[in-house]
Structure 1
Amino acid sequence: MYINPAWRILTIGDGDLSFSHSLLENYHPKSLTATVFDDISSLSSKYSTTHFKQLQAQRCEVITSFDVTKKQTWGNLDKHQFDVIIFQFPLLPAFNSAKDFKQQSQNISLNTLHRRLLRRYLLNCFNEFLDPQGAQLALITSKDVKPYRQWCIEQALIINTDINYIGSMPFETDKFPGYKIRNVDRDKHVKDTEGVTYVFSRLLTTELDNKVTQPNYLHDNYCSYCRVGPFYTERDKQSHLVSKKHQKMALFEQQWLNDIK
């Protein structure tokens, strides 16, 4: 992940605030506002308030009980004051039971629920948080393994919007000393699986263009949902389209398209 010290940055749902603290300590952005989903009591009981206090001591604004999908939780954030928004390893809170999941999700898959969250995040980034005169960059860092890669972050989230997928860059945890990827529901350190930072903008040209790459699977003659290809014959393509792997992804995609109608 590339960080320009001239940026005004907003971090979203930063677990124990260790990412925001490392970002501030090691990259010294022009300004930083950090947010956490938990209230201060939950933050303290799950992770401790160490990073919260360190950020406050350095006059970094921290907003607790922040839900990027609910404007009433955003406090006194001014509109359009940031250059870059960063959402690290987003994950919905776990459901208490299968019954609880069924009641709350209304039979929508977790795949679609996560896509809903990330689409709303992107829309709010550009409609509410990002300065139209600034860098206009929204970043999502996620693990490059199932089920996260099945969210199709590069393409599914921006359907029927004016937001562009710019490309991706590796996320290397060791470039952010002290950062621990937290489980959204408890004080446990999540395994440092390879991460990828996906970059979005309303601009067609951004300062990150020479720092990101576009994967081959988004090109013609590939199945971009399954990341399979290239297909050298029509038979190869048809064989993939009837495979269990593709049929599962096709169900995810159809449910998602129905959801955003």
Structure 2
Amino acid sequence: MNFQQGMAVLTIGDGDFSYSLALARILKPQLSKSTVIATSYESRETLQETYPRFEDYSRELASLGAQLYFNVDATRLAQTLPIVAESKFDRICWNFPCTAIAYGQDGQNDAMDKNKDLVRQFVKDAKDLLSDCGEIHICHKSKPPYNQWGLEHVALEWLPLNSFIFAGKVVLDRFLFPPYRPLKALDRKSFPCHDACTYIFRSAKRSDAEAFSSTICEEEVGTKMQTVPITEDIILSLRRNLLQDASQKRRYKVKRKTKFRR
């Protein structure tokens, strides 16, 4: 997904903040010039009550130098995100945006118009917070009914004509972002995301000479992509990240069992 150290990244509505943590581990804001701002529409207290891993993740985020903000409205960022006035972001990411619907039926057809308006207003608001090389990343499932949202078109409908473009989409492989697990809004249950894609939007005026390269490069379209060989270092890095996540899960299960036995 082309996240590079030195970037300023803003995450929106990140459930238990596991995606933000994955990015913070990559960008290492404490040790580099990167910035990671993790936000939630909910209060900190609500997240503590809902998501069992939230406290662990928030502590690690803080130790990595990330900043956490709560009660942030994706459609009113200028009014609800305190640091927004002096900030510009290279990536603004919102995974699985949807309005809150009862009984876990978020994102279904009967709420499609509300969800489309949610995306339209978010992009309209977020575009002003982008750096010159900035991108908006919206990740969502690509099977019905979600593919009927028409994200690549809907996101641009409230913007001036030809000011912003849909650059393309990238398949989401959540295993590249440990410990990320997509979760339902205000529900600790996860859901399958094997069909999910990240839709990339950026300014139509972006220059190829910007500080960070595009997630999707136009010159690569229709050409054979370079194959990167798997090295021992890559395998060891993947193994280390996956084992770290598995170890955390085991500790959490033991902790819960001990708690219930008392």
Task: Say whether the fold is shared (TM-score over 0.5).
Answer: yes
Q: Structure 2 residue aligned with 1:37, among 33, 36, 41?
A: 41
Matches within 5 A, 1:111-190: 111-127=112-128, 129-131=129-131, 134-159=132-157, 161=159, 162-190=163-191
Shift of the 8–211 alpha-carbon distance from structure 1 to 2, 3 Å rule, reads farther
Deviation per CA, 1:65-85, whole angstroms, max 9, x where unpaired? Answer: 111113432223334421110
Instruction: Provide the C-alpha distance between the structure 1 equivalents of 2:20 and 2:9, rounded to a whole number of angstroms.
Output: 10
Shift of 1:204: 4.4
Shift of the 91–212 alpha-carbon distance from structure 1 to 2, 3 Å rule, reads farther
Give the letter for the 2:94 counterpart.
F
Shift of 1:109: 4.4
Aligned match of 2:63: 57
Shift of the 55–212 alpha-carbon distance from structure 1 to 2, 3 Å rule, reads farther
Matches within 5 A, 1:1-261: 1-28=1-28, 30-48=34-52, 49-70=55-76, 71-95=78-102, 109-127=110-128, 129-131=129-131, 134-159=132-157, 161=159, 162-205=163-206, 207-208=213-214, 209-210=216-217
Instruction: Provide the C-alpha distance between the structure 2 equivalents of 1:24 and 1:185, rounded to a whole number of angstroms.
Output: 23
Instruction: Provide the C-alpha distance between the structure 2 equivalents of 1:18 and 1:213, rounded to a whole number of angstroms.
Output: 31
Shift of 1:33: 0.6
Structure 1 ranges of 4+ moved more than 4 A: 211-214
Instruction: Provide the C-alpha distance between the structure 1 equivalents of 2:104 and 2:203, rounded to a whole number of angstroms.
Output: 39
SS in 1 for 2:152: coil
Deviation per CA, 1:165-217, whole angstroms, max 9, x where unpaired? Answer: 11111111110011110111211121233211111111345632328998xxx
Give the letter for the 1:44 counterpart.
Q
Instruction: Provide the C-alpha distance between the structure 2 equivalents of 1:155 and 1:91, rounded to a whole number of angstroms.
Output: 17
Instruction: Provide the C-alpha distance between the structure 2 equivalents of 1:191 and 1:199, rounded to a whole number of angstroms.
Output: 21
SS in 2 for 1:24: helix
Give the letter for the 2:124 counterpart.
L
Deviation per CA, 1:64-114, whole angstroms, max 9, x where unpaired? Answer: 11111134322233344211101111122113799xx9xxxxxx9411111
Aligned residues: 204
Q: Which runs of 5+ in 1 are unaligned?
A: 102-107, 215-261
Q: Is the 8 A contact 1:83 1:130 kept in 2?
A: yes
Shift of the 77–145 alpha-carbon distance from structure 1 to 2, 3 Å rule, reads same
Instruction: Provide the C-alpha distance between the structure 2 equivalents of 1:120 and 1:9, rounded to a whole number of angstroms.
Output: 19
Give the letter for the 1:156 counterpart.
V
Instruction: Provide the C-alpha distance between the structure 2 equivalents of 1:211 and 1:64, rounded to a whole number of angstroms.
Output: 36
SS in 2 for 1:2: coil
With structure 1 as the length reference, what TM-score do the two structures score?
0.70
Q: Percent identity?
A: 22
Instruction: Provide the C-alpha distance between the structure 2 equivalents of 1:156 and 1:55, rounded to a whole number of angstroms.
Output: 33
Most deviating of 199-208 and 86-95: 199-208
Shift of the 59–149 alpha-carbon distance from structure 1 to 2, 3 Å rule, reads same
Instruction: Provide the C-alpha distance between the structure 2 equivalents of 1:146 and 1:41, rounded to a whole number of angstroms.
Output: 34
Deviation per CA, 1:47-73, whole angstroms, max 9, x where unpaired? Answer: 132211221222311001111113432
